[in-house]
Amino acid sequence: MPRLSCYMVRSALTHLGVGFVIGGLMLAHKAVFIHPAVPALLGWHIHALFFGWTLQFAFGVAYWTFPRLTSWGFRHPRGRPGFAWAAFILLNLGVMLAGPGALAAGPPAQTAGTLAELLGIGAFGLHLQPRLRPPLPDRQP
């Protein structure tokens, strides 16, 4: 497994844990009052589980399993890894800005975080585009 895939999967599992803890806290708050700010954690919960866990896990596995570019003129067998690293950084930065950053700085941080997440999705799309190709034709002997 490539190093970037390991980092993406580990980060995704971290976001899964954080999202579940926040979700459990919000669920417990419905039964027993904990703190008046607990309902404000919903945005962090959503961003951690959707962008941090689901999307990043899918990106990590896609980086690992999509076809390699051995004869397509790229220096790196996985195409353009710089875009994949940018996606990793932007997704995690976006989750941190849209989650805890939004609690501290308000809507501008949440907007910046969501924009960073969208830029991360675009960067991974740019990375993956050369690796998408039609299936090879059947070879008849």
Segments in the chain below pLDDT 70: 70-74, 134-141
- The answer to whether residue 139 is domain-embedded is no
Give the per-residue pLDDT at 81. 86
What is the Cα–Cα distance from 83 to 91, expressed in whole angstroms? Answer: 12
Range of the domain at 32: 3-131
- The answer to whether residue 138 is domain-embedded is no
Neighbour tally for 25: CB within 10 Å: 14
- The answer to whether residue 99 is domain-embedded is yes
Neighbour tally for 100: CB within 10 Å: 18
Q: Report the sign of the C-alpha dihedral through residues 11, 15, 16, 21, in that order.
A: positive
- The answer to whether residue 63 is domain-embedded is yes
Give the per-residue pLDDT at 29. 96
User: Count of domains in the chain?
Assistant: 1
**Average pLDDT of the chain to the nearest whole number:** 89
Task: Output DSSP code: residue 67.
Answer: P
Give the per-residue pLDDT at 131. 79
